[in-house]
Structure 1
Amino acid sequence: MTTTTAVFTAAELAYLRGQRLARLATLGPDGAPQVRPVGFLVDAATGAIDIPGLDNPSTQKWRNVLRDGRVSLVVDDVVPQPWQPRALEVRGVAEALPDVLHEGAFPGVRPGVIRIHPRRILAFGLDDPDSPGNRDVPAA
């Protein structure tokens, strides 16, 4: 039986912890998606995903989150032998936290974190036979 955190299965959490880069999609002022590569941290206890940055409060993604918190984060890769794509998509609601700092998380990081509260998880290729796969996450 797979153990779970508040949000992620053990296999999903291990996968996230083994990755360094994700793609964050936010909604721009005209409603069009904007996608940016981002570093991220996962809080295993709550399932929240934090996106620190060099100067998040000055970015378009920050302004997008302030206006409309609906986001999607994709973490993916390919295992070469045998060729196997793997991915985890987290859809959720984000908030902009200007005073939060994850000092030491990444070189040059400054205060200002985008925190994602997952609402839907879509996963494949993570070699977890007990994984519930695509599922909704109850609001906390």
Structure 2
Amino acid sequence: MAVSQRRGRRIMMTPAELDAFLTAQRTCRVATAGPDGRPHVSALWFVWDGQALWLYSLTRSRRWADLRRDPRVAVVVDDGREYGELRGAELSGTAAVVGEAPRRGEACPGLETPERLFAAKYFGLDAMPHDGRHGWLRLTPQSVLSWDFRKLPEQVT
């Protein structure tokens, strides 16, 4: 994973902080490009395996159609309510379909880890339930930017 952040190094998350953050958060925002070039942003559940962000998407969604035509994607995961609490990460690269689409549960060694993580995180289960409507997209980030405003020094007023 390439870290290309120049500004804000003092508020950048360490690799361990980034791993913990991406593992704990539940919702991301996925930005794709439509056929006319217009951006489309949608919220989605995901899991992080330490190397890739795994998106579990409806295969009959605009997001899926956009990424099949143009696999470039940017994803933001963020948290915090007050300014001094804001933290997040932007991951960008290309999304790849992994496994059958839509997913019905065929054996796929590359999906063992993300499906185990997803089932536990969102359903409290040991195994992934398959509905025949979703498929897996893997984003192995080419660029990662992160921020944690909690690292900013206290402002004097």
Normalised TM-score (structure 1): 0.72
SS where residue 29 of structure 1 aligns? coil
Give the total of aligned pairs.
Answer: 119
CA deviations over 1:91-110 (Å, ceiling 9, x no partner): 11101232458262545654
Report the AA paired with residue 38 of structure 1: L
* CA deviation after TM superposition for structure 1 residue 17, in Å: 1.1
Which structure 2 segments of 5+ residues have no match? 3-13, 104-110, 124-128, 152-157
CA deviations over 1:11-44 (Å, ceiling 9, x no partner): 1000111110110001111111100000001112
User: Are the equivalent residues in 2 in contact too, given 1:88–1:121 (CA < 8 A)?
Assistant: yes
- Give the corresponding residue for 2:24: 18
> What's the Cα RMSD here?
2.6
- Give the corresponding residue for 1:124: 147
Report the AA paired with residue 68 of structure 2: L
Normalised TM-score (structure 2): 0.65
2:115 pairs with one of 83, 97, 102: 102
Distance 1:127 1:84 in 2: 5
* CA deviation after TM superposition for structure 1 residue 120, in Å: 0.4
User: Are the equivalent residues in 1 in contact too, given 2:31–2:42 (CA < 8 A)?
Assistant: yes
- Give the corresponding residue for 1:132: none
Distance 2:41 2:69 in 1: 16
Greater relative CO (CA pairs within 8 A, separation 6+): 2
